[in-house]
Chains A and B, each alone.
Chain A
Amino acid sequence: MDVQRKLAILADAAKYDASCASSGTEKRDSSDGKGMGSTAPGMGICHSYAPDGRCISLLKVLLTNACNYDCLYCVNRASSNVPRARFTIDEVVKLTLDFYRRNYIEGLFLSSGIIRSPDYTMEQVVSVARTLREAYHFRGYIHLKTIPEADDALIAEAGKYADRLSINIEMPQETSLQQFAPDKDVRAIRRTMGRLRLKLDEAEENRATKTKAKPQRFAPAGQSTQMIVGADAASDHTILHTSSNLYGSYKLRRVYYSAFSPIPDASRALPLVQPPLLREHRLYQADWLMRFYGFDVGEIVDDSAMLPLDIDPKLAWALRHRDRFPLDVNRASREELLRVPGFGTKAVERIIATRRTTTIRLSDLARLHVPKHKALPFIVLSDHRPSPHRLDAAGLIERFKPKATQLGFGF
C-alpha cells in the first residue's frame, strides 16, 4: 500500500477527534541553525480550514487503525469493516517534515489504535516523537494521545517530547462507557489523567523555582480530553458536571465536545442521525461560561436538564435572573459585567478601561464591539434605561429567538 493510500485511511480514522489546537506551549524556534520548526506564541496557527469549519493545524493521523478494542461509537472498532493500514515510524516522520517544510501544518497530532498491549502501542507513538525531536531536531508542535494504563516511564518520555498529551474520557458518564466501550475503563482513564497532572505540576514547580539547571520537560501545553455528545442519553447537566470535575481535578486545558457523527459502517446500536451540531455549540458556550465568566455548572443548567438550543446559555441565565438587571455599565463590577448578555471578556476589559476616563453612552456600544440588540434590555447607560415593563415582560425572550425560518440551521 502506498503512503498516500495509507494517509487517506489513517486521516479518515483520526478525524473524529475534535482537538487540533497548536496553542499554549513554550516558545521555541530553530534559529540556532539546528533542525527546523518553531511554535507560535499564544494562540497557535490554523493553516487551513476544511468545509466542516474545523481548523487544520496539525497533521492528525493514527499510527494504525487496527484496534483490539470494540468501542461502538468508533470508526476503528475491531468489528468494523473499514480498510486497515499501518504507518511505519519513518513514514509518519517523513510526512510530518515534508508537510511542515511547505508550511501546511504546525506539527503532528498522533494517536493509534490499541495493538498488542497499551505499552507496545504507547512505545510506538513515543518512538515517532522521539525520532522527530532527537534525529531531526524538529521544533514544531507535537500532540500525542496517551494510552491509559501505559507504563509511567513511557508517559514521562511522551511528556518530554510532546507539547500536549490527551486521553479521551469518551463518554460523559461511566455507565455509557461500559455500554459502548466495554474494553475501556473510566477508572484507568482517570488514574492516568491524575498521573499526568502530578507530572505537569512537578514540571511547573521546577520551572518556577529553577532548582535544577535543566528541569525535566513535561508537556508544556498541558493535557486535554474529548467527550462524545449525543451517542448516549446523558443530559447537558451531566456533561457539564463531568467537564467541571475534569477541569478541577486534572487541570485540563480543554475539554472538547464532539457531536456524535455518522461514520462509515456504523454500529447498529447507535443513533445514525445528523450530528447535534447546535447542541455541541451550546456546550462550548457553557464551557466558556464556566472557565472565563465565573459561572458554576448549577447556575448554567439545572439538574438533569438540557441547555436551550434557541438562545445562548448566558442569555438564558439572564432571563431567569431578571431581578439582577438592568445593570449600570458605568458602575457595575467586572464580575457583574461578565454576566451581561452580549458582553465578552474583551469588551468588559475595554469598558472598564474606558469608564475610568469617560462615561459610556448608547452610541459607544458599537465601538466596544457589543451587540446592541442583545445587551440593551439588560443595561443602563448614561443616556439609556430600558423600560422596567420590558425587562419583566414574558415576551422578552421572543426578541432573541432566531426567526422560525432559520431554525434547523444557518450553519
Chain B
Amino acid sequence: MQYITLDTETDFDGWRKAARSLVLHHVQPADVTWTVQGRDAELFAPQPPSPILEVNEGTFNVSGKFVELAQAAILHRDSERFAILYRLLFRLKDNHDLIEVATDADVAQVTAMARAVHRDEHKMHAFVRFREIGRERAAHYVAWFEPEHHIVELAAPFFAKRFADMPWSILTPDLCAHWDGHELSFTPGVGKSEAPGEDRLEETWRRYYASIFNPARLKVKAMQAEMPKKYWRNLPEASIIKPLIEDAERMTGAMIANAATDPHKPQKRPEAPMPRKTAANDLEALREEAAHCRACPLYKDATQTVFGEGPGNANIMLVGEQPGDKEDLAGHPFVGPAGQMLDRALEEAGVDRKKVYVTNAVKHFKFVPRGKIRLHQKPNTPEIRACRQWYEREVAAIRPDLIVAMGATAAQSVFGKITPVGKTRGRLIDLPDGRKALVTVHPSYLLRLPDPEAKALEYRRFVEDLKIAAGLQKKTARAA
C-alpha cells in the first residue's frame, strides 16, 4: 500500500506529481491511499509517507481534456476525489479515447464532480455580497461566503479583475481571499462573526428586489432551482422572499379585481407630430405613398418599401428585379453585392451613375427565412402586376428616354408581358409610348455564375449592353 499525503485540499500539482510517479510504477489504484496534511489525523495512525520516487526514466501523455477536468474535480469536497482521479488516470494511460466515453462510470463521475465545482464557482461569482467598511477613499469591501467546494482560489481572480479599483476581502470558513488593489493574497478561514453584518445600500437593494418581482408570475420552484435555500442566509435580499410570496396572491387578485380607474388625462400633451413635408415634386409624393403599399402580401415580412432613387429628370431609368437583403435593411436600391457589380459595369460602360434613375420592378424583398439568413425568392406574376403601378407612375414622373430592363422580372414589368431576356437583349426596342427599351441580364445573375470564365464572359456582354445606354446618354448630353 502506498500512502500519499498532499499539502492542501487543492494541491493539484502534488497530486499530479504523485499520480505520474505511481502510474509509471504500475501501482494499482486499489493500492494507494490518499490524504491531505492535517486531515483525518485522529482516524488513522500516521503512516510513513511513500517515498515518491523522482521518476526520470519516463513519461506519458494524457489528453488535455483530462487535465482540465482533473483541475476542477480536485476542488470537489468529496474526500475520495484523489483516488477516483487516479483510477481514471491509470485507465487512461493505455486507453486515450476513454475520456470521450461519457457512459463510462469513472468518466461520468469525474465529469459530474468538475461540473459541480464549476457550478459552485459560478454561484460564488453571483452570490458574494460585499459590505462597505468606512467611506469614500478609506472604504474597504468585505463579503462572507460559504462555498460548497474548495473554490476560493479558483474564484478569486474573477473578483480581482472585476473590482480592480477597490480593496476587498472575501471571508470563508476554508480560506479568505484579499485584494489590495495590486495583489491577491490568501489567509486561513475564519468565522462568520469576523464579517460585517450590514451595508447602507441593502435596504435600497431590497426595495429594488421587491419592485422588480412580478407577483402575477409566482414560480417559487424555478427560483429555488437556481438560487437554492442554502445560499439564502448570506443574501441580503433573501429576508423578504417569504413575505413577497405570501403577499403575491393577494396583490395579483387585487390587480385583476380592481377595474381600471378612469383614464388619466396626460398633463403634458405630446408635441404635435411634425407636419409631413409637402411633396417637393411628384416623385416625392409617390415615394411617400409607396411606403404604405399593401397591394400584395410581400409588405408583411419585408422591412420596408424600397423605392427608386436618382434625379427626377434622368433620361435613363434602370429597372432591376427586387430589393435584396441589404437593400431591404437600408431602404435604398442596389446597395448590396449586385449593386456594387452594377456600379462597376456602369463605370466601365461609361454611364454616369449619378444621372441615372435606379429602381426595381417589385419594391418589397421576397424571401424565406432560413435560420440567420434570408433566401431570396423570385416574385410571381401577381406580385409583379401588383407592383407595376409604381413602375408606371415612376416612368410618368421621370419621363426617361431609355428604360433598361435587367433580368426577366424587370422585362416582364417593362413590356407588360413575359419577355425572355436571351431573345431580346442587347438592342434598342421601341415601346408603344415612344420610349426606347433595352433588355439585359440582372447583375445578380453574374454573381451566381460558378465558373469564373463564364462569369468574365457574361460580365463583358453586360458591359457591352450598357454601352448602348452610354451612347444614348452622351448623345442627349450633346443635344442639351
Residue ranges of A at the interface with B (Cβ–Cβ < 8 Å): 3-4, 7-9, 11-12, 14-16, 29-38, 40, 45-56, 59-60, 66, 68, 78-81, 95, 98-99, 101-104, 116-117, 174, 187, 190-191, 193-195, 197-198, 244-245, 247-251, 259, 261-268, 272-275, 277, 290-291, 350-351, 353-354, 356-358, 360-361, 364, 367-368, 410-411
Contact = CB atoms under 8 A, between A and B. Distances in A.
Contacts of B209: 48, 50, 56
5 contacts: A8-B211, A11-B212, A68-B270, A80-B263, A277-B217
Contacts of A51: 213, 218-220, 223, 241, 244-245, 248
Nearest to B270: A68
Contact of B204 (A7, A36, A267): A7
B374 interface: yes
Q: Which 7 A-B pairs have the closest CB atoms?
A: A53-B222, A248-B369, A53-B219, A79-B263, A194-B329, A68-B270, A364-B103
A4 B219 contact: no
B255 interface: yes
A288 B363 CA distance: 33
Interface stretch (B157-165, B339-347, B387-395): B157-165
Contacts of B17: none
Q: Is the interface of A mostly helix, strand, loop or mixed?
A: loop
B199 A102 contact: yes
Contacts of A16: 214
B141 interface: yes
B328 interface: yes
Interface in B202-230: 203-205, 207-223, 226-227
Nearest to A188: B304
Contacts of A350: 102
A367 B214 CA distance: 37
B361 interface: no
Given A51-B213, A103-B130, 15 more contacts: A8-B207, A11-B212, A16-B214, A45-B122, A50-B209, A51-B223, A102-B129, A103-B128, A190-B303, A194-B304, A262-B255, A353-B101, A361-B103, A368-B103, A411-B221
A267 B260 CA distance: 6
Interface in B126-174: 126-132, 141, 143, 158-166
A84 to B, nearest CB: 9
A194 B306 CA distance: 13
Contacts of A30: 161-165
Contact of A190 (B102, B207, B219, B304): B304
Nearest to A32: B164
Nearest to B253: A262
Contacts of B369: 244-245, 247-249
A360 B101 CA distance: 10
Contact of B161 (A31, A187, A247): A31
Contact of B221 (A53, A103, A198, A261): A53
Contacts of A98: 201, 204
A198 B331 CA distance: 11
A397 to B, nearest CB: 25
B71 interface: no
A277 B248 CA distance: 16
A4 B271 contact: no
B256 interface: yes
Contact of B303 (A194, A354, A357): A194
B448 interface: no
A171 B208 CA distance: 28
Contacts of B256: 262, 272-274
Contact of A12 (B211, B223, B252, B304): B211
Contacts of B220: 51, 53
Residue of B159, B248, B255 most packed against chain A (CB within 10 A): B255
A59 B208 contact: yes
A381 B58 CA distance: 42
Contacts of A367: 102-105, 108
A15 B211 contact: yes
A56 B212 contact: yes
A33 B179 CA distance: 13
A54 B166 CA distance: 30
A81 B261 contact: yes
Contacts of B261: 81, 265
Given A50-B223, A51-B219, A53-B223, A36 B374 contact: no
B255 A360 contact: no
A80 B260 CA distance: 9
Interface in B265-302: 265-266, 268, 270-271, 291, 300-301
B423 interface: no
A299 to B, nearest CB: 13
The listed residue with most B CB atoms (<10 A of its CB), out of A15, A45, A193, A262, is: A262
Contact of B227 (A48, A190, A244, A358): A48
A367 B165 CA distance: 44
Given A277-B217, A357-B101, A245 B301 contact: yes
B160 A353 contact: no
B372 A360 contact: no
A336 B154 CA distance: 39
A160 B370 CA distance: 29
Contact of B166 (A101, A194, A244): A101
A32 B164 CA distance: 8
B103 A79 contact: no
B260 A259 contact: no
A37 B163 CA distance: 6
A187 B304 contact: yes
B371 interface: yes
B464 to A, nearest CB: 33
Given A7-B204, A263-B255, A191 B129 contact: no
A353 B111 CA distance: 14
A309 to B, nearest CB: 16
Contacts of B158: 38
B260 A101 contact: no
Contacts of A116: 271
A248 B371 contact: yes
A3 B103 CA distance: 55
B194 interface: no
B98 interface: yes
Interface string B443-470: 0000000000000000000000000000
B259 interface: yes
